[in-house]
Amino acid sequence: MNPNPSPNSPNSRIELYTHERMVNWLGPMQLLRTGLRSAVAVTLGAFADPREVQAALKPVATNPPVEVPADAEGGVWVDYLADTGDGWDSTYSMALCVSQDVRLREPALTLPRGRVLLLGGDQVYPTPADGGYRTRFLDPFRAASPAPVPANLPKDPDETVSVPDPRVIMAIPGNHDWYDGLRGFTQLFCNGKPVGDWETRQHTSYYALRLPGGWWVWGLDLQLESAIDRPQLEYFEQMKKLLQPSDRVVICTPEPSWVDEAERVAREKQKTLPSIETQTPRFRSLRDVEQLLGDKLAVVLAGDSHHYARYEPQAGTVAPQRITCGGGGAFLNGTHQLPDPPKPIAVAGVRQHYALKGVYPDKRTSERLRNRAWRLPTRNFSFCGVLAVLYLLFVWMVQSASKVPHPARGSLSLMEKLAQLEATWGHVGEAWHQLFWAMAHSPSSVVFALAIVAGCAALSASGVKRGTRLAFMVGAMHGLMHLGLAVGLLWLMGRVNLTYLGLGADDLHQVALFGLETLLLGGGFGGLLFGIWMVLTNALWGLHSEEVLSSQRIADHKCFLRMHFTPAGLTIYPLKLDKICRRWSLGHDVQQLARVKRTWRLRVAAGAAGPRFVSAEGQASPPESLQLIEPPIVIPR
Distance CA 418, CA 412 (A): 10
- The least confident of 222-231, 241-250, 620-629 is 222-231
Q: What is the mean pLDDT of residues 52-56?
A: 72
Instruction: State residue 68's pLDDT score.
Output: 93
Question: What type of residue is 431?
Answer: A
Fill in the DSSP letter of residue 296: G
- Going by pLDDT thresholds of 50, 70 and 90, the confidence category of residue 40 is low
- Model pLDDT for residues 509-563, shown as the tens digit of each residue: 888 999 999 999 999 999 999 999 999 999 999 899 989 999 999 999 999 999 9
Distance CA 181, CA 374 (A): 37
Mean pLDDT: which of 33-42, 75-84, 270-279, 309-318 is highest?
Answer: 75-84
- Model pLDDT for residues 394-430, shown as the tens digit of each residue: 999 998 888 877 776 677 888 888 888 888 888 888 8
Per domain, the residue ranges of the chain are 28-144+166-372+557-575, 381-550
**Which tops the pLDDT comparison, 39 or 276?**
39
Distance CA 10, CA 478 (A): 64
- Model pLDDT for residues 108-121, shown as the tens digit of each residue: 999 999 999 999 99
| Cβ neighbours of 607 (radius 10 Å) | 14
The answer for 90, left when phi > 0, alpha when psi is -120 to 50, beta otherwise, is alpha
- The least confident of 79-93, 152-166, 238-252, 299-313 is 152-166
Instruction: State residue 9's pLDDT score.
Output: 58
Cβ contacts of 181 within 8 Å, gap of 6 or more:
41, 44, 45, 48, 50
Distance CA 46, CA 34 (A): 18
- Three-state secondary structure call for residue 598: coil
Distance CA 192, CA 436 (A): 65
Give the start-end residues of each E strand in 466-568: 558-566
Q: Is the peptide bond before 7 cis (omega within 30 degrees of 0)?
A: no
- Single out the residue of 614, 563, 555, 556 nearest to residue 102, CA to CA: 563
- Single out the residue of 425, 492, 486 nearest to residue 453, CA to CA: 486
Domain 28-144+166-372+557-575 has CATH 3.40.140.10: no
How far, in Å, are 102, 300, 572 from residue 399 at the CA level? 64, 59, 64
Q: How far is CA 241 from the centre of its chain?
A: 36
- Write down how long the chain is: 637
Distance CA 144, CA 91 (A): 10
Mean pLDDT: which of 29-43, 221-235, 595-609 is highest?
Answer: 595-609
HEC profile of 507-531: CHHHHHHHHHHHHHHHHHHHHHHHH
Q: What is the pTM of this model?
A: 0.90
